[in-house]
A = this chain, B = another copy of it.
Amino acid sequence: MKIGELAKRSVLTAHTIRYYERIGLLPYADRDRSSRRDYDGSILVWIEFLGRLKTTGMPIRDMLLYADLRDRGSGTEAERRALLERHRESVRAHVDELNACLLVLDTKIGGYAETEQRMKDYDATLAERRRKPVGARSPRTR
């Protein structure tokens, strides 16, 4: 698979794939005789996992640590696990924070909804008054 094809099959652009290789997030890809990158489909799994780390807010710096442990292979499992566990906790904490913010947002939106409802009620009252005027006055608009 050439870089263009990989770009289509992943969420990354060819530019980003080269950039990730440069910084070490993607392994150095084998080149064909004309020095073009030729990928194995298995790289997609790694890219997808990197995507999860990115989505969950892990900085590239930390992804590099993980990628390095992975490259070093067996014997690094405990460290990799520890890294992911630390990250998981920070993601959980962030989710909790977001949920707390969602409550505040709900309250705020609820406040606007009430205001809107009061305005509708007021309009309805005015309409009612136009239909059944209270005094001797005729209905008016201002």
Binding site for B on A (CB under 8 A): 49, 52, 55-56, 77-78, 80-81, 84-85, 87-88, 91-92, 94-95, 97-99, 101-102, 104-106, 108-109, 112-113, 115-116
Contact = CB atoms under 8 A, between A and B. Distances in A.
Most B CB contacts (10 A, CB to CB) among A78, A99, A101 go to A101
A2 to B, nearest CB: 28
Contacts of A102: 56, 88, 91-92, 95
25 contacts: A49-B108, A52-B101, A52-B104, A52-B105, A55-B97, A55-B98, A55-B101, A56-B98, A56-B101, A56-B105, A77-B116, A81-B116, A84-B105, A84-B108, A84-B112, A87-B105, A88-B105, A88-B109, A91-B98, A91-B101, A91-B102, A91-B105, A92-B102, A95-B102, A98-B98
3 tightest A-B contacts by CB? A81-B112, A52-B101, A56-B101
Nearest to A104: B52
A99 B109 CA distance: 24
Contacts of A101: 52, 55-56, 91
